[in-house]
Structure 1
Amino acid sequence: MSEIEENAVLSEGEGEEEAQEEGHGEEEDKVQVCHLTQETVTQGLSLLCRTGNGLAHAFVKLDLKDKGLTDIAAISNYIHLRFLDVSNNHLTDLAPLASLTQLLWLKIDSNAVACFKGQPLGQLTYLQWLSVAMNQLKDLEGLVGPALESLNLIGNSIQRVNGLQYGHLTNLATLELRGNRLDTTDGIYLPNLRRLYLGQNVIKRLEGLERLERLTTLHLRDNQLETLDGISPNMKCLQYLNVRGNAILSQNALRCLALVSNTLRALVLSENPLAETRDYRLCVLAHLPQLERLDKDPISSEERTEAQERIKELKEEEIPEPEDL
Structure 2
Amino acid sequence: MSDVEEQEDEIQSNEEEVSDVLFEQDALIIQDDIDIISGGDDDANDNLVLAEADFDGKSALRGFGYNLLANEDGSLKYPEVHLDKEMIRTGLSHIARTLDTFEFAYSRYDGRNRALTEIDILGQYVHLRAVDLSGNRIKSFKSLAPMKHLLVLLVNDNQMISLEEIPHLPFLQALSAKRNGLKSAQGLFSNSLTHLQLSFNKISNLIPFDDATFPNLTVLELRGNNLQSLNGLNVPTLIRLFVAQNKLKNLNGLKTCTNLTHLHARDNVISTLENFPRLEKLEYVNLRNNLLKRFSQTQFLGNSPNIRTLIAMGNPVAELDDYKMEMIAANPNLKRLDKQPITEIDLVQGRQIRSGREKGILPPVNDDSEVLTPPMPSMEDTMAEEDEEDEDDDDNDDGSPPPEDPEDQDKDQEPPPRSSGGPEMDVEIRKAST
| TM alignment of 1:221-300, pairs within 5 A | 221-233=266-278, 235-261=279-305, 263-300=306-343
Tell me if structure 2 keeps the 8 A contact 1:81–1:102: yes
TM-score, structure 1 as length reference: 0.86
Q: Distance between the aligned counterparts of 1:143 and 1:56, measured in 2?
A: 31
Match of 1:62, SS state, is strand
What does residue 126 of structure 2 align with?
79
Structure 1 SS opposite 2:361: helix
Q: CA deviation at 1:313?
A: 4.8
Q: Secondary structure at the match of 1:284?
A: helix
> Conserved in 2, the CA contact under 8 Å of 1:208 and 1:230?
no
| 95-104 vs 161-170, which moves further | 161-170
- Distance, in Å, in 2 between the alignment partners of 1:155 and 1:120 is 18
* Greater relative CO, 1 or 2 (CA 8 Å, sep 6+): 1
The partner residue of 2:344 within 279, 301, 304 is: 301
Amino acid aligned to 2:121? A
Partner of residue 155 from structure 2, selected from 87, 108, 121: 108
Which residue in the other structure is 1:9 paired with?
Answer: none
Residue 210 (1) aligns with residue 255 (2): yes
Structure showing greater radius of gyration is: 2
Residue 197 of structure 1: aligned partner: 242
* Aligned partner letter, 2:297: A
Secondary structure class of the residue paired with 1:106:
strand
SS in 2 for 1:201: coil
CA–CA separation in structure 2 for the residues paired with 1:127 and 1:244: 33
Measured in 1, the distance between the counterparts of 2:351 and 2:103 equals 67
Task: Letter of the 1:197 partner, please give it.
Answer: F
Amino acid at match of 2:78: V
Q: Find the counterpart in structure 1 of residue 83 from structure 2.
A: 36
Residue range with higher mean Cα deviation, 103-112 or 306-315: 306-315
Which residue number in structure 2 is paired with residue 316 of structure 1? 361
Tell me how far apart the structure 1 counterparts of residues 363 and 326 of structure 2 sit (CA, whole Å): 17
Contact 2:159/2:180 (8 A) holds in 1: yes
Q: 1:144 and 1:277 mapped to 2: Cα distance?
A: 48
Shift of residue 318, structure 1, vs aligned partner: 5.4
Equivalent residue for 2:209? 164
Amino acid at match of 2:328: L
How many residues were matched structurally? 297
TM-score, normalized by length of structure 2?
0.65
Mind listing any 5+ residue stretches in structure 2 that lack a counterpart? Answer: 1-63, 365-434
Hey, what does 1:128 align to over in structure 2? 173
SS in 2 for 1:39: helix
Amino acid at match of 2:90: Q
| Partners of 2:69 and 2:76 within 8 A in 1 | no
Does the CA-based 8 Å contact 1:127-1:145 persist in structure 2? no
CA drift of 1:187 comes to 1.3
Rounded to whole Å, the distance in 1 between the matches of 2:354 and 2:274 is: 23
- CA gap of 1:69–1:312, structure 2 versus 1, over 3 A, is closer
Cα RMSD, aligned residues only? 2.1
Amino acid paired to 2:117: T
Query: Secondary structure, in 3 states, of the residue corresponding to 2:163?
Result: coil
User: What secondary structure, in the 3-state scheme, does the structure 1 residue paired with 2:236 have?
Assistant: coil
